[in-house]
Amino acid sequence: MNQLKMNFMRLLRIFLAAVFISTLVTPVLAQTEGVANDRDGVVFFIESMPASPYRHLGTVECSAFSPDDIDPLLDHVLKQARKNYEEFDALIFRPGKGLCKADVVQFYRDPKAKRKRGRANEEPQVDAAYKLSKAVERDGMLVFVQNNPSNEYTLLGRVETPVTFRSKDIEELIDEISKISKNTYPDMDAIVIMEGSNLRKASVIKFK
């Protein structure tokens, strides 16, 4: 009888420990989900990774004379990739490289599925599953660039870099807007860089 009671208590402790761990881990994992932007049929993963399985085709880098601003730079890297790879689905920009180095990847497809194609005057259609992303933590927070969080969140406020901060270096811009966000809203979880702001404006959010 005592042995049965001991076994029961041991199982109960294991169960309670598992429940406790799941309550800690599940929200963290859920916070990393996002929907990445695509351009001309190619998905951009910046400060994030694809949620769908893929195969690596190769790597592409900026040329010696590349634009400083983010949108022309993304177009430049995309153009560089198309010089070497006829068919690919996404670019995964490596952290710490200022958007000047990216992995060229192709997603695994269902062999029975037909590939969607837009009309001649339309952008190619991208499977919604290929745009799902997992954000990569940067300095204790999540940074969404060309990527929108898919989980519910509370908007804490908006921030921007001061006019006195004149650097155009992409890594320095992300570091600066991240630092300002954390100092202004210490309880924040992530920032969403505003498109068209050249990384100088961001929404600061906390996941629910």
- pLDDT score at 154: 97
Average pLDDT of the chain to the nearest whole number: 84
Q: Is the pLDDT of residue 204 over 80?
A: yes
- pLDDT score at 19: 42
SS3 53: coil
- pLDDT score at 64: 82
Cα gap 88→105, rounded to integer Å: 6
Average pLDDT (110-124) is 61
- pLDDT score at 30: 42
Q: What percent of the chain has pLDDT over 90?
A: 66
Torsion of CA 203, 201, 96, 175, to 10 degrees: -90
Per-residue pLDDT tens for 45-65? 999 999 999 999 999 999 888
Q: And the tokens for 37?
A: 């932007």
Cα gap 73→71, rounded to integer Å: 5
Task: Identify which has the larger pLDDT, 58 or 140.
Answer: 58
Per-residue pLDDT tens for 5-30? 555 566 546 555 444 434 444 444 34
SS3 103: strand
Range with the lowest mean pLDDT among 5-9, 80-84, 122-126, 166-170? 5-9
